[in-house]
Amino acid sequence: MRMYDLIIKKRNGEELSTEEINYFIEKYTSGDVEDYQASALLMAIFFKKMNMRETVDLTKAMMHSGDVIDLTAIEGIKVDKHSTGGVGDTTTLVLAPLIASCGVPVAKMSGRGLGHTGGTLDKLESIKDFRIGLSIDEFTNNVNNNKIAVVGQTKNIAPADKKLYALRDVTGTVDNISLIASSIMSKKLASGADAIVLDVKVGSGAFIHDIEGAKELSKTMVEIGSLMGRNTIALITDMDQPLGYAIGNSLEVIEAIDTLNNKGPKDLTELCLNLGGKMLLLAGRVKTFEEGEKLLIEKIESGEAFEKFKEFVSIQGGDVSVIENIDLLPKSKNIYEVKSDVDGYIEKMIADEIGICAMMLGAGRETKESDIDLSAGILIRKKVGDEVKKGDIIAVFHTNKDEEVIKTVENRFFKNITISKNKVSEKKLIKAVVTMDGIDEF
Ligand code: URA
Ligand code: CA
């Protein structure tokens, strides 16, 4: 088999066989296929597309390019949640203890991520002494005994995807449905979950900007999961403005604590109840989504969900006093209020740009090597649809950077929000639910 022939075949719009896809992934992972040939094939796939069979084969090949985690030592149905990524997404921090408090095992492998803020691991590390490096035995035991553990991803999950994703990133071949779906699903499937709930973000803060694209991506991922024997559901949710109020690491830990105590932002709470209700359903813990949602609300109102969070932090070595007294979390030196200079209604908040503002204040990594400031970020005070008066605080910056940076970020922030004279309606958060039975749009 020769890479050259595969490239020509796809360039001419033909279907690649299972053997050809396996060959490509194997040889590219081992370094026997060079980046220039892989890039050419990716570009051919981008233009000529892949059918479902090819997409599933690609997913399987990437899934098996490294370790496939065996979670069978953990009792019960393990449901994993995956978000395609957005700005200020605090859901994992809330959902992990919330689901565990319902008696459903949460065996979560998380990443750090590049971007506006750190990943779930960075957020958890803003809790003093929190340990993310559990051995596989500790991980298994913690989930069996306490229903919850969160660890850092082992290095060898879908290495083919890691390499290909980096290549796609610099060759203009990221936004192809088959390539995105296989990339995400190969990692999820290799992480050992029995069932998967996907949160597919759509809007200015997501990499899919239109609802049609989100539906197609969701359908493809749900089909891949189901064909691989994993019950899979996708929710399509709004990411046109940041989720909740907090964007930043310790700021989001506080937001998660508030949400677990029933004092969280409306949108974040709604998203957690929706995703969580589906997770309980797939775990077989409840018979209907409505029953699941009701149980989650009970667990929040009774305080059990918050207790589970404290237990989880304590078992992984974290300092629980930080959870009880959030003043002990990392704090920025400079707190700066961004005020409106007009009257009106918030019409738009370009999510990814607001995310970049948070990153510039120190909350995220610009490159893999950059340091992250766990205390830094943005607390938004107004969301789309809210009325503002001249002088009202729209957002509060938390940062250790100097005044010059703060001013630059403030300018960028103002460029990316629109305040209208006319009343603006609130945005709908949950846009659709996608299952093997079809799409329900709201
Ligand atoms: N996230 C991924 O993991 N892969 C993609 O291709 C796009 C987003
Ligand atoms: Ca948030």
Helices 18-30, 3-11: axis angle to 10 degrees equals 130
What mean pLDDT comes out for the span 239-254? Answer: 94
CATH, domain range 79-324+431-441: 3.40.1030.10
* Ligand (nearest to CA of 378): 2
Of the CATH numbers 3.30.420.40, 3.90.1170.30, 3.30.565.10, 3.40.980.10, which one belongs to the domain with range 332-420?
3.90.1170.30
- Pocket probe for ligand 1: among 50, 165, 201, the residue whose CB has the most ligand atoms within 8 Å is 165
Give the C-alpha separation, 288 to 277, whole Å.
8
Range scoring the smallest mean pLDDT among 96-105, 213-222, 417-426: 417-426
pLDDT at 96: 96
What element of type H or E holds 110?
A: strand 106-110
Q: Ligand 1 atom 6: the closest Cα is on which residue?
A: 180
Q: Specify burial of residue 404 (Cβ count, 10 A radius: 0-12, 13-18, 19+).
A: exposed
Q: Ligand 1 atom 5: the closest Cα is on which residue?
A: 180
Convert the pLDDT of each residue in 159-186 to its tens digit.
999 999 999 989 999 989 999 999 999 9
Work out the pLDDT band at 426, boundaries 50, 70, 90.
confident
State what percent of residues in the chain have pLDDT above 70. 99
Instruction: Kindly list the catalytic residues.
Output: 82, 161, 168, 183, 187
Sign of CA dihedral 157, 160, 163, 166: negative
Work out the pLDDT band at 113, boundaries 50, 70, 90.
low
* Top-level class of domain 3-63: mainly alpha
Residue 307 has pLDDT above 90, yes or no: yes
User: Of 64, 27, 41, whose CA–CA distance to 185 is shortest?
Assistant: 64
For residue 419, give the amino acid letter: I
* Ligand (nearest to CA of 363): 2
Q: What is the dihedral of CA 352, 353, 357, 358, to 10 degrees?
A: -10
- Pocket probe for ligand 1: among 82, 114, 174, 208, the residue whose CB has the most ligand atoms within 8 Å is 174
pLDDT at 155: 66
For residue 263, give the amino acid letter: K
How far is the centre of ligand 1, averaged over its atoms, from the C-alpha of 176 (Å)? Answer: 10
Q: What distance lies between CA 137 and its chain's CA centroid? A: 26
How far is the centre of ligand 2, averaged over its atoms, from the C-alpha of 322 (Å)? Answer: 19
How many angstroms separate the Cα of 387 from the Cα of each of 259, 337, 384, 392? Answer: 24, 17, 9, 10
What mean pLDDT comes out for the span 318-339? Answer: 94
pLDDT at 340: 96
pLDDT at 440: 95
Give the C-alpha separation, 183 to 161, whole Å.
6
Q: Ligand 1 atom 3: the closest Cα is on which residue?
A: 184
Which SS3 state, helix, strand or coil, does residue 129 take?
coil
Give the C-alpha separation, 149 to 143, whole Å.
6
Alpha helix locations (H) across 342-393? 351-360
pLDDT at 425: 87
Give the C-alpha separation, 158 to 155, whole Å.
9
Give the C-alpha separation, 171 to 26, whole Å.
21
For residue 139, give the amino acid letter: F
Which SS3 state, helix, strand or coil, does residue 126 take?
coil
pLDDT at 366: 76
What does DSSP assign to residue 202? E
Q: Ligand 1 atom 2: the closest Cα is on which residue?
A: 184
How many angstroms separate the Cα of 200 from the Cα of each of 41, 141, 203, 309? Answer: 27, 31, 10, 25
pLDDT at 281: 97
What mean pLDDT comes out for the span 350-368? Answer: 90
Q: Where are the domains of the chain?
A: 3-63, 79-324+431-441, 332-420
What mean pLDDT comes out for the span 222-231? Answer: 97
User: Of 345, 433, 340, 354, whose CA–CA distance to 394 is shortest?
Assistant: 340
What integer best gives the mean pLDDT of the chain?
94
Residue 114 has pLDDT above 70, yes or no: no
* Ligand (nearest to CA of 88): 2
Give the C-alpha separation, 81 to 276, whole Å.
9
Q: Ligand 1: residues whose CB is within 6 Å?
A: 84, 165, 174, 179-180, 183-184
What mean pLDDT comes out for the span 247-258? Answer: 95
Q: Which residues surround ligand 2, an ion (CB under 5 A)?
A: 88, 90, 243-244, 246
